[in-house]
Amino acid sequence: MSTGEILLGILVMVLVTYGPRVLPLLLLRRQLQSAYLQAFFAYVPYAVIAAMTVPDIFFAASQPAAAVLGTAAALLLAYRGRSLITVALGGVAVVFLVETVLLYF
């Protein structure tokens, strides 16, 4: 690759990553009045994080049953109001235990 191609690639990456962050600030000078748009923008970060992490949850374990049980344990702990570290460690512990048990059977 030439230097020009590398610089063009960097410029495109800057526009793609920085543009969506700056455009709303430039285009929307006042508070949004639409309750629908406010709710939409409030939930977008959660939806993006879920879309990025859920597939990895099911493909990180070597056994699909371990992934399903670990996810169920994490969801149960989260539903009961446990802290994020407790939820994460609980899910990991269940996956570890299930994979260890399945390894010997």
67, with CB counted inside 10 A (0-12, 13-18, 19+), is: buried
> Rounded to whole angstroms, how far apart are CA atoms 80 and 53?
21
Cα 75 from chain centroid?
15
**Whether pTM exceeds 0.85:** no
Cα 88 from chain centroid?
13
Which tokens belong to 44? 């977008």
45-98 tens-digit pLDDT: 888 888 888 888 888 888 999 999 999 999 999 999 999 999 999 999 999 999
Cα 55 from chain centroid?
9
